[in-house]
């Protein structure tokens, strides 16, 4: 079987460093963790925080959206997919990710990027757990049953 | 100025996700497919991000407070709770199903990647479902 994607260590490292830089900006300037699931959840909260600029979560998500638009124009191949994922599977996945990241207090950015370098035991355990669960899910949905995106 | 830095942070975050192709679900699923055609790229994304962020943490340690704002809001909890592990496991199952976690999904949806357009409303619904069950105040 042909690999679907090529191993791209240089682009991955540069991209990762930019993600780290973005999270560093939030830390140094605002003193906050750049956890996307928490920030997205904060967009829908009516809680004002005197120590932060108003609706800063919406501003951050606005930056993400702007970045997505720029990528679509400047580098379309990185925002395309060759997978045909069933809408039902994708909708189920979205519900699980939304619910799970709130219950577990973070996602790949909050627990992974921001938590691991702090050597937070909670974040390290959470990251190991979601990586393990995700790898098991990919194995089951693609190699045992055949309804995953890779099968 | 503060809003501008926050906007820039979101923007740079998105560009980083794009350059590393985390915005493409096949790239993420390829990493998670440890027993298939494994693509280890995502480990390098994590590595790059962690090294840079570790440097920023050192810088933050030498400061009393962030440039704006009155104090650092860095989580200090160290209790391992069932909700932490169960939540992470549920998240992992969803991540493995479609190859999207919240950041890349938002960026891909903004660039009109079809599955991300289904994923994001559902992601937000999942956040509200959690709030409805656990946070009824």
Residue B32 to chain A, least CA–CA distance (Å)? 5
* B32 token code pair: 């998670």
CA-to-CA dists, residue A131 to A105, B50, B60, B130, angstroms: 15, 16, 28, 21
- Using CB atoms and an 8 Å cut-off, which of residues 47-76 of chain A contact chain B? 51-53, 56, 59-72, 75
Number of domains in chain B: 1
| Contact criterion met (CB < 8 Å) for B69 and A116 | no
pLDDT of A54 higher than 90: no
Asked if B90 reaches chain A (Cβ–Cβ under 8 Å), the answer is: yes
Contact list, A92 vs chain B (CB under 8 Å): 94, 97, 122
Tokens 């390829």 locate to: B30
The interface predicted TM-score of the complex, written ipTM, equals: 0.96
Asked if B117 reaches chain A (Cβ–Cβ under 8 Å), the answer is: no
The residue segments making up the domain with residue B8 are 2-134
How far the first Cα of chain A sits from its last, in Å, is 11
What's chain A's average pLDDT? Answer: 93
What confidence tens digit (pLDDT) does each residue in A93-150 have? 999 999 999 999 999 999 999 999 999 999 999 999 999 999 999 999 999 988 888 8
Pick B11's closest partner by Cβ from A12, A67, A126: A67
C-beta of residue A131 within 8 angstroms of C-beta of residue A115: no
Residue of A nearest to B120 (CA): A94
Fill in the DSSP letter of residue A74.
H
What confidence tens digit (pLDDT) does each residue in B63-114 have? 999 999 889 999 999 999 999 999 999 999 999 999 999 999 999 999 999 9
Contact list, A79 vs chain B (CB under 8 Å): 18, 23-24, 107-108, 111, 113
pLDDT of residue B69: 84
Residue A66 to chain B, least CA–CA distance (Å)? 6
Residue A70 to chain B, least CA–CA distance (Å)? 8
Fill in the DSSP letter of residue A140.
I
Chain B interface mutation, best of A36, A64, A84, highest count of B Cβ atoms under 10 Å:
A64
Q: Percentage helix, strand, coil, to 5, in chain B? A: 70, 0, 30
Closest CA to A23 of B113, B111, B54, B102: B54
């Amino acid at each position: 079987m042909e690999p679907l994607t090529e191993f791209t260590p240089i682009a991955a490292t540069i991209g990762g460093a930019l993600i780290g830089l973005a999270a560093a900006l939030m830390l140094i300037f605002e003193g906050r963790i750049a956890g996307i699931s928490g920030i997205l959840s904060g967009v829908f909260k009516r809680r004002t925080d005197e120590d932060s600029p108003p609706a800063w979560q919406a501003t951050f998500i606005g930056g993400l959206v702007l970045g997505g638009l720029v990528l679509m124009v400047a580098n379309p191949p990185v925002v395309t997919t060759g997978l045909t994922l069933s809408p039902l599977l994708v909708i189920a996945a979205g519900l699980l990710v939304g619910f799970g990241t709130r219950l577990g207090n973070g996602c790949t950015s909050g627990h992974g990027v921001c938590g691991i370098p702090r050597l937070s035991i909670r974040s390290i355990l959470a990251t190991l757990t979601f990586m393990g669960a995700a790898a098991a899910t990919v194995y089951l949905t693609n190699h045992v049953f055949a309804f995953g995106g890779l099968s | 100025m503060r809003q501008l830095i926050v906007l820039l942070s979101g923007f740079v975050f998105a560009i980083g996700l794009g350059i590393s192709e985390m915005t493409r679900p096949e790239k993420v699923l390829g990493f998670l497919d440890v027993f298939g055609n494994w693509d280890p790229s995502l480990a390098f994304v994590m590595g790059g991000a962690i090294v840079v962020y570790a440097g920023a943490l050192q810088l933050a340690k030498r400061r009393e407070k962030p440039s704006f704002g009155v104090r650092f809001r860095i989580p200090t909890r160290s209790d391992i709770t069932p909700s932490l592990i169960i939540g992470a496991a549920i998240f992992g199952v969803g991540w493995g199903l479609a190859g999207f976690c919240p950041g890349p999904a938002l960026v891909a949806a903004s660039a009109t990647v079809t599955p991300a357009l289904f994923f994001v409303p559902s992601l937000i619904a999942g956040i509200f479902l959690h709030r409805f069950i656990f946070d009824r105040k």
